[in-house]
Amino acid sequence: MKILGICSSPRVESNTNYYLNEVLDEAKAKGADTEIIKLAGKKISGCHGCYGCVEAKKCIIEDDFQEIYNKIVEADGLLLASPVYHSCITPELKSVLDRMGFSGRWAKNEMKETNKSYDWKGSVLSGKVVSPITVARRAGQNFAFAEILLWAATNDCIIVGNTYWNVGVAGKGGSVNANEDEEGIGIMRRLADNMVDVISKLNK
C-alpha cells in the first residue's frame, strides 16, 4: 500500500506540511508505505492547453512535473494538501492537478472527431483513493477544499470521508503553530485510519 502526500505550501517547513505528516506518520504506523513531495522550490508550469499529451500520452512540458506524475501513477492513495490563498489552493497545486488530470486522461483515451461522443476509458487516476487537506488561519477552507474534491470526482478517483472536514486552523501572523491545533491533529489521524482502511479493502 503506497500513500503519497503532496504538500503545496511554498514554505518548506509549514503548517500544511505539519498536518500532512500527521496523516502520513499515522498511516505508516498502520503499515502503509508513505512518501511526501514538497512543491516548494520546484519548477512546475501551468497547463499550456497545447494538447500535445493526446499524441504523446504524457505531458510534453519538461519540468519537475514529470517525476511527480510518475509517483502519482504508482500510488494507491493520494493526499493533496494546500494552504488557503484567497479561498483557493496554491498555484503550484493547481498546476499539478490540471496537468495530471489532462494528460492522465489522454494517456488512456483517444481524441474523437467533433461530431462523435466520448465513452471515456478511465484515466491513470482511476480508482486512486484521494483526500484533500486544507489549512487556513480562519476561513476560506470550503472553496479550496471543494476545488480538490471536484478534481478528484471528475478524474475517476475514490474520495475518502472523515468525521469532519480535513482542515487545519493555524498560522496567525505567519507563524508555524499547527502543533497547537489539537482538534485538527485528531482529524488528520482519523483520516489516516480511513485511508488505510479503504485501500486495504480495495486491495483484497
The CATH number linked to 158 is: 3.40.50.360
Domain of residue 34 covers 2-202
pLDDT tens profile 33-68: 999 999 999 999 999 999 999 999 999 999 999 999
pLDDT at 70 over 90: yes
Q: What is the pTM of this model?
A: 0.96
Phi, psi of 3 (to 5 degrees): -115, 125
Quote the percentage of the chain above a pLDDT of 70: 100
pLDDT tens profile 127-157: 999 999 999 999 999 999 999 999 999 999 9
pLDDT at 191: 98
Q: How many domains does the chain have?
A: 1
C-alpha distances out from residue 180 to 10, 42, 70, 119, 132, Å:
21, 29, 35, 49, 21
pLDDT at 204: 87
pLDDT tens profile 77-110: 999 999 999 999 999 999 999 999 999 999 999 9
Strands 167-169 and 77-83: unpaired
